[in-house]
Amino acid sequence: MDIGQKVLEKLKDEISQSEYNRYIKNLKYDSKSSRSDIAIFTTNNILSAKWIKTRYAKKIAHLYEVESGIKPEVIIDVKGTQNRNKLKNIIKKEQKSESTLLNPSFTFSSFVLGDSNSLAYNVSKAVAENPGKQYNPLFIYGGVGLGKTHLMQAIGNYRANLGDRIIYNTLEQFLNRYTNHIRTGTMDRFRDYYRNCDLLLIDDIQFISRKEQTQEEFFHTFNELHSLGKQIVITSDKAPKKIAGLEDRLKSRFEWGMLANINPPELETKIAIIKKKAELNGIRLDDEIVNFLATKLGSNIREIEGTLIKINAMSSLLRQKITLDFVKNAIEDYLNEKKENITIDTIVKIVAQELNVKPSDIKSKKRAKKIVEARRIAIYLARNLTPNSMPQIAVYFGMKDHSAISHAMKKIEEIIENDENLKVLIDELSNKIETIKNTDWKDN
């Protein structure tokens, strides 16, 4: 598969099926005319080309950069016409005005504040107002879709408006850039690039796990910037000490400044978020519906937003009003569909990874405390997140019969009642499992 096709495949995962079918399906990568820094795509007509350019060009450039380490100029051409130069100029102008990959809608004012995220929000605000001072580095951690990238980019947007030079990179981009520069023997340029910024934002640092050379390079970049008083902000899905395969010297540096975690939103925060997202997307929902959604949907805010957009699209497609019944139906299909996509294998893998035990231990009869706990959690999640029956789950875990599962379920429900931390952990695990579907599960 060439890079353009890969990018389109990735884009497919990030947008809704209907958007994909309508706009992106007919988009073709022109590998002959493209260069490493100019990615040319063609589509059928000028209207789609314009639409794709405004809606997706940035995203395509971003995905392309993730793949190649180079941010290209993206050109959406129309088959058989000579729009290339015109489009090229428009895009050039647009791209000059924004040199980083920050999403302009991730600001402090679009972020809904609640108990679960107030620490991270307040510290981020303080960092934006006073970078390189009290909280350096700022390390934000928490589960999937809880607002880490949003807050990190809110800091970036705030500083960019004041004229600071910002680098926002996912760890993946940092890694790709690193490998490309190593390959071409241009590490001096790599170092210049990272060490000449006022604010370095590294998103999803957990993927640095066990990548020794990248850790080494990041260590030096970190030290250099830190000693110059430049602010560093890092996000991760877990606390530094929980990132397996992270060198101690990096762990300790990540703890120098401020560790701020984001928890899954409590009900009130979820309600406030749903209201805000509905408003931003021009969707009218009455309170009854908002409450229903808040109790039914999980804590991944990206998914909550996706669901809202889907409900809205369905309502206009079917020309039906968004009533409680309509939403119930829509959600039910959606929840069932989600369930069918999750297997116990995935659950076991993720629980094992997060709790640092082996998947085979979870399926074994070992009685070590850590393993028993992990097994119980896996059973609980298997029961809640997959359509498997208790007997089926019993077979999977090599247990006698369904009563053993039912017993394990009772036990863990009891523990969850009294253990807030476990509740949060389970919420985070569910989130992760629902995000990493079986199809795109990657061994790390």
Amino acid of residue 293: L
Binding letters toward ligand ADP, positions 108-127, x by CB under 6 A: ---xx----x----------
Stretch that binds ligand ADP, among 78-86, 138-146, 179-187, 390-398 (CB under 6 A): 138-146
CB of 111 to ligand ADP, least distance (A): 4
CB of 80 to ligand ADP, least distance (A): 38
- Alpha-carbon span 159 to 136, nearest angstrom: 15
Q: Is 198 in the site for ligand ADP (CB under 6 A)?
A: no
Whichever of 15 and 70 has its CB closer to ligand ADP, that residue is 15
CB of 172 to ligand ADP, least distance (A): 13
Closest residue by beta carbon to ligand ADP? 147
Q: Which of Mg ion, ligand ADP, none interacts with 112 (beta carbon under 5 to 8 A by kind)?
A: ligand ADP
73 sits in which H/E element? strand 73-78
Stretch that binds ligand ADP, among 15-23, 208-216, 298-306, 422-430 (CB under 6 A): 298-306
- Answer whether 225's CB lies under 8 Å from 234's CB: no
Q: Residue-wise over 364-378: b if at least 16 C-beta within 10 A, else e?
A: eeeeeeebebbbbbb
Residue from the set 4, 69, 72, 145 that interacts with ligand ADP by CB under 6 A: 145
Whichever of 110 and 438 has its CB closer to ligand ADP, that residue is 110
Whichever of 136 and 236 has its CB closer to Mg ion, that residue is 236
Rg (CA), the chain: 23
Among the listed residues 437, 265, 239, the one whose alpha carbon sits nearest the alpha carbon of residue 347: 437
Q: Which of ligand ADP, Mg ion, none interacts with 374 (beta carbon under 5 to 8 A by kind)?
A: none
- Answer whether 226's CB lies under 8 Å from 259's CB: no
Query: Residue 209 corresponds to which tokens in the numbers above?
Result: 């796990």
Whichever of 4 and 145 has its CB closer to ligand ADP, that residue is 145
Q: Is 301 in the site for ligand ADP (CB under 6 A)?
A: yes
Spatial strand order in the sheet of 38-43? 28-29, 38-43, 73-78
- Answer whether 141's CB lies under 8 Å from 261's CB: yes
Q: Is 298 in the site for ligand ADP (CB under 6 A)?
A: no
Residue from the set 66, 74, 146, 232 that interacts with ligand ADP by CB under 6 A: 146
**Residues 6+ positions from 399 with CB-CB distance below 8 Å:** 405
- The β-bridge partners of 442 are none
Binding letters toward Mg ion, positions 117-156, x by CB under 5 A: -------------------------------xx-------
* Residue 206 DSSP symbol: G
Q: How many residues bind Mg ion (CB under 5 A)?
A: 2
Longest Cα–Cα distance of the chain, Å, equals: 70
Task: Dump the DSSP string for 112-152.
Answer: PP-TTTHHHHHHHHHHHHSTTSSSSSEEEEESTTSSHHHHH
| Contacts to Mg ion by CB under 5 A | 148-149
Site residues, ligand ADP (CB under 6 A): 106, 111-112, 117, 144-150, 273, 276, 301-302, 305
